[in-house]
Structure 1
Amino acid sequence: MNPNLIEIAPGGRPPKQKQKEEIPDIEPWDSKILLSPTYEDISLEKLNMDKITIYVEHPEPLEPPAEPAPPPPQPLKLTKKEQKKLRTQRRLAKEKDRQEMIRQGLLEPPKPKVKMSNLMKVLGAEATQDPTRMEMEIRTAAAEREQAHVDRNIARKLTPSERREKKERKLFDDPNTLGCIVCVYRIRDLSHPQTRFKVDVNAQENRLTGAAVITDGISVVVVEGGKKSIKRYNKLMLNRIDWAAAVGGEDDADEEPDKPVNSCVLVWQGSVVKPTFPRFSVHQCRSEAAAKKVFADAKVPHYWDLAVNFSEDSS
């Protein structure tokens, strides 16, 4: 039995209707000019001409939701020679302050850095009294200085988590930045499994979201992410992959010799407030209607329309 033919009981709740706003007798923007409360009697004598001025009223400008903050003032750019001169001046001033603190007794004077090469020059006659003991002390002090140098390097060395964070900062943008970049690619043929694997894995490795929708006539790839990740993915899609060789197989080329050369073009690139897709996924669709539904479910059907209506001649 067809469930659509079952009669509904009369005691059901009536459908909720949207209430329409009442049409006012006079619009609020006209009430400041018209003296009468209706539009029936309009004349120059019944207009408040004092409200009409030569000035043009502009709405208050609002900041866009995803616009980044203006950059801070940049420091003065110095040449290599000027940078070297400033560094020398800072080091001389620092050394002068240290010598002044040693002279006032606030710091302990450093021990003479004795080595085997300058032994006689630093110690003089003292080195000839007990050369074996002096050599042992010099070698011990040199080993201590070397160990202190190694300890300072170890203290500055990053932990595995800090090294991982540094690498992520180099490869990816700050996740707290506003907005993300969207790229829409149109591909003639994405049926080759190796090419499909590259498109999918590179999007996941670059932490991009989006979708790759594959049909018999056209394939559309949409990615969303940061500036650095999008830049690397653009190089993959437009330069690294040989799309002319990435076809389904040799049998397809023999069957259709007049088939156009496979290619990938960037249809559109722009910024949005937030990403639409939760992750990157690949969809194999049998019809264009099913392919468009993938984007319609994500509330971005215009991505599919852009790719379908795109013409390489117009670009």
Structure 2
Amino acid sequence: MAFSRRLKLDLLTTSDAPKQKLKRRSQNIALSYVTDTIIDGQVSLAEFGSTSVQNRRKAPAIEWWDEPVVENSSYSAVKVENITGNLFIPPALPPATTTYAPPPQEIMLTKKERKKIRRQRRMAVVREIQEKIRTGELPPPPPKVKISNMARVLNEQMVANPTEVEKLVREAERKRREAHEKRNQDRKLSKEERREKIVNKVREDLKKACVLALFRIGDLSNSKLRFRVKTNAVELHLTGMCLMVFGQPGMQLVLVEGPPQNIKKYINTMTKRINWGMPFPLQAQAAPAATGESSQQSDQAQDPSSSTQPSPASGSASLRFPNQPMIPIETNFCKLLWKGVVKKPTFREFRMDCVNSSTAAQNVLQRMGMEQCWKMAERDATSEKVEKMEDKDQTLFSAL
């Protein structure tokens, strides 16, 4: 236990030391508030005194939570009957942002596990049928007699008349085979149903991710190449456009968008399967400068995509795909420039466009919001030219 001197206690009780200490604290708090407010630039120093700050908010006569139990806005009269033992619990407010739990991940089963699940499912169906046969809900099936077991199942009849028994067994086998084929045919989807099923699958995959791929092709004057480019895109249910520019070899663009799996197949087709150096059709080789209707009709017959309708960006109704190559056939190429995920599809179908200048091509892509594709193709073409020049210079230097 610690004792204090009597003199110290007398000074604390008789002097104004505590009051002075409290006053100094209040003045320091006021000065710090004034300093912070002036530093923030909200008010000027002239609005405040040196040591005092006015109270900017007056205390209310009563608090809002006491209004139901007081009268005349005063604590002097209290409604005792309104005071109960119940507690007021305010309702919980919803959060400002709603967070959802991530969906459960699909379990990838092995081939052995999938076979086991299928076997168990089929066994359950067979047990259910057997139980209905035991209870009398279904009639028992006839014995499944085959050529291999007819001597054991129909022993007595086989001895009496083997020819007739064999005929009956073969007839039963034929009926079972026909019933099996009929069930398969009834379960088979029609052509329209199969197409609708594929389209629905593509739509579901597009909701998960939409992938855009950009190709740069050397020359698309060959109608066979244009036919392959469009047909493969349509068969894979892809949308996009094939943009061909006159007088711009190496700047023929193909943009396709769709589900990831379909885009993967299309990229494999464009970069590996199509022979970009294939020769032109025989009619085009026989009449290279043909301008009559016969050559135009043969070109349209070989390539449905080479329509005579004017492109909206061409500005001319006479623009057609040319029949002569813009570059040597053996140097033709197809290069994948970019592939990535986009927010949503831009095109409604796959179409073929033919324009007469790079400006018109940029306008077409700008209307679709794809102007960066042309810039990307130009950069790639420029870098390719620079690399070829460097290789040529290196070859000359090594020869020297």
TM range, normalised to the smaller chain? 0.5 to 0.7
**Structure 1 residue 193 displacement after superposition:** 4.8
Q: Sequence identity, in percent?
A: 34
For residue 238 of structure 1, give the secondary structure of its aligned residue in structure 2.
helix
Counterpart of 2:352 (choices 273, 278, 281) is 281
Q: 1:294 aligns with which of 364, 374, 377?
A: 364
Corresponding letter in the other structure for 1:212: L
Deviation (angstroms), 1:271 = 2.2
Q: Give, in angstroms, the shift of residue 136 of structure 1.
A: 6.2
Q: Does the CA contact (< 8 Å) of 1:185 and 1:266 recur in 2?
A: yes
State how far apart, in whole Å, the 1-side matches of 2:221 and 2:164 are: 81
Aligned residues: 251
Match of 1:173 among 187, 198, 202: 202
* Residues 29-48 of structure 1 mapped to structure 2, 5 A cutoff: 39-41=41-43
1:224 maps onto 2:294 in alignment: no
Is the counterpart of residue 154 in structure 1 residue 146 in structure 2?
no
CA contact (8 A) 1:195 1:246 kept: no
C-alpha displacement of 1:212: 1.0
Separation in structure 1 between the aligned mates of residue 270 and residue 219 of structure 2, nearest angstrom: 13
Instruction: Give, as a single letter, the amino acid of the residue that structure 2 aligns with 1:177.
Output: L
Alpha-carbon contact 1:210-1:222 (below 8 Å) kept: yes
CA distance in 1, matches of 2:363, 2:223: 23
Deviations 1:84-126 (A, max 9, x none): 6666666666555554544444443333334565445334446
CA 283–142 in structure 1, closer or farther in 2 if over 3 Å, else same:
closer
Match of 1:305 in 2: 375
**d(CA) in 2 for partners of 1:127 and 1:174?**
61
Deviations 1:260-285 (A, max 9, x none): 95543222222223333444222232
Q: CA separation in 1, counterparts of 2:136 and 2:153? A: 23
Q: Note if 1:240 corresponds to 2:273.
A: yes
Distance 2:210 2:117 in 1: 40
- RMSD over aligned Cα atoms: 4.7
SS in 2 for 1:173: helix
Does the aligned pair in 2 maintain the 1:246–1:262 contact within 8 Å? no
One-letter amino acid of the structure 2 residue matched with residue 148 of structure 1: A
CA distance in 1, matches of 2:270, 2:162: 72
Q: Does the CA-based 8 Å contact 1:173-1:228 persist in structure 2?
A: no
| Structure 1 position 307, deviation (Å) | 1.4
Q: Which of 127, 141, 154 is residue 110 of structure 1 equivalent to?
A: 141
The 8 Å contact of residues 202 and 233 in structure 1, kept in 2 or not, is answered as: yes
What is the CA distance between 1:79 and its match in structure 2? 5.8
Q: Is the 8 A contact 1:102 1:109 kept in 2?
A: yes
Q: 1:196 to 1:70 in 2, by over 3 A?
A: farther
1:266 — aligned with what? 336
Structure 2 counterpart SS, 1:216: coil
The question of whether the paired residues in 1 share the 8 Å contact of 2:239 and 2:257 is answered with: yes
Aligned to 1:214: 245
- Larger CA deviation: 199-208 vs 294-303: 199-208
Alignment of 1:91-130 (within 5 A): 98-115=129-146, 118-125=149-156
CA distance in 2, matches of 1:181, 1:308: 22
CA distance in 2, matches of 1:197, 1:97: 55
Provide the TM-score with structure 2 as the length reference. Answer: 0.47
3-state SS in 1 of match to 2:106: coil
Quote the Cα distance in structure 2 between the aligned partners of 1:149 and 1:208: 41
Take 1:194 and 1:136, find their aligned partners in 2: how far apart are those partners? 58
- Structure with the largest fraction of helix: 2
**Structure 2 residue 120 is the aligned partner of structure 1 residue 77:** no
Larger mean CA deviation between 184-193 and 288-297 belongs to 184-193
2:217 is aligned with 1:187: yes
3-state SS of the aligned residue for 1:276?
coil
Closer, same or farther: CA 284–241 of 1 in aligned 2, 3 Å: farther
Distance between the aligned counterparts of 2:253 and 2:123, measured in 1? 59
Using a 3 Å threshold, how does the CA distance of structure 1 residues 201 and 78 change in structure 2: closer, same or farther? closer
Matched residue type, 1:150: E
What 5-or-longer segments of structure 2 have no aligned partner? Answer: 1-35, 46-52, 54-95, 281-322, 388-400
